Structure 1
Amino acid sequence: MNEKGKIPCTRCRMGVPIGITIALIGLIGIITSSLFYEHVGVFGLIPFIGLFLIGPPFARMASLVNGAHARIDKLEESLK
């Protein structure tokens, strides 16, 4: 612990951009697979569909965690 009593570097602000990037990779993969590789079928789209469905909830969860950390910091400052 540092002198303020907090654990340093406990939050990751890169969660939201990473979630958006994951969703975009999935969307681009779905589009390119369906346009250029018609012989791939549904099984070739499964990884991209999975990425597309996992990305937005990941970004939402990361933004909620960052907001909760900000509220906790405000409460800690008000208690001092």
Structure 2
Amino acid sequence: MHRDSHEQADAPMESLSLGDTCVCLPLRQHRLPRPPRTDVELRSGDLSVFREPSGLAHHGVPRVHAGTAPAESGPTGRLNITPRVSGP
């Protein structure tokens, strides 16, 4: 589990999943009661968009389902692309 707490921009954060399907744990706000967990599957080509305060919530990918990538996607495994704004 991690938090995206170092972002420098107010724009939504976008995350593109490519390759094997993964299980994503839901967003959980720090210090709030935890609701029943509903895991989300992210498949190749899925785009997740987070707005504040979602990026500050804990989330993570504990499991990748090997061999589930579309044949046309090329190499196996999972690739996540999340553009970041860095610097002061």
TM-score of the aligned structures, taking structure 1 as reference length: 0.26
Q: Which has the larger radius of gyration?
A: 1
**Which structure would you say has the larger RCO, counting Cα contacts within 8 Å and 6 or more residues apart?**
2
Return the structure number with greater strand share: 2
